[in-house]
Amino acid sequence: MLGRHFETRSARGARIDAVLWTLFFIWIGAIALFKGIPPGAGSIGVGAIVLLGSLVRLVVGVSISTFWIIIGFVFMLAGAGEMLGIDLPLLPMALIICGVLLLFHRKSGRRGRA
């Protein structure tokens, strides 16, 4: 019984991931196609997709990752900064956050996914 439940949750997670990747590619394509989209909207959209995915996973009962929640907020923050004319370097912020998360992940003694 427990194995069947795990398979169901895993299948749900895979379906959610597939939908999120689809939304991501559609969004990136729309940003590239429509030049009138304001600066920063691309990053905000990516952040929204990532955070929406984490919310859906939480509601459905599939495991969520702190890493992706933080990355979603980084994208939202970078996009908002770009819209407001504030230079928030996305790549350096993401790399620093990834490094800190890996450091804490290793210190906790946990293995596997964050």
Is 23 a member of any domain?
yes
What's the number of domains the chain is made of? 1
Is 113 a member of any domain?
no
CA distances from 15 to 8, 10, 48, 92 (A): 11, 9, 18, 31
Is 112 a member of any domain?
no
pLDDT digits (tens, 9 = 90+) for 24-49: 999 999 999 998 889 889 999 999 99
Is 92 a member of any domain?
yes
DSSP secondary structure string, 75-94? HHHHHHHHHTT----HHHHH
Is 10 a member of any domain?
yes
Range of the domain at 20: 2-107
Query: pLDDT per position in the chain (114 positions), as tens?
Result: 455 555 466 888 889 999 999 999 999 999 999 988 898 899 999 999 999 999 999 998 888 888 888 889 988 988 898 889 887 777 787 778 778 877 876 655 545 554
Is 114 a member of any domain?
no
